[in-house]
Amino acid sequence: MSTQEENKVYQEKLSPLQYRVTREGETERPFTGLYWNAKDDGTYDCICCGAKLFESDDKYDSGSGWPSFTRPIDGANITEIRDESHGMVRTEVRCGECDAHLGHVFPDGPGKEGLRYCINSASLDLQTS
């Protein structure tokens, strides 16, 4: 499938915000996303392809206004890329299956690894248990 055909499929499947975030790398405003303060048990999957990304047990309130997780379910489902946009150096997080932009990871989180996966709600689909 060509990139143009793939983009059309995503445009038909996703809301305009989900498309802008996952396919164009935008960021939703803090404290506005569906899952920033969700407490439901389940798995947070990629909105584009359904890859399992994060468990609700690893979600915590970072105070940032975005869903935050201490770790992904499986590192193979996450790709990390150096991001030097907006005059900063950060690590972008993408879906390892479909390359959707998810958010960023920062070294200021709780837990054993000390990481905060700061993820856009628009890139996630909560599958409740």
Is-contact 121 67, C-beta < 8 A?
yes
Q: In what order do the strands lie in the sheet with 68-69?
A: 59-60, 68-69, 116-119, 101-106, 90-95, 78-83
Burial of 114 per CB tally in 10 Å (0-12, 13-18, 19+): exposed
Which residues are catalytic, by number? 118
Contact present, 74 and 118 (Cβ < 8 Å): no
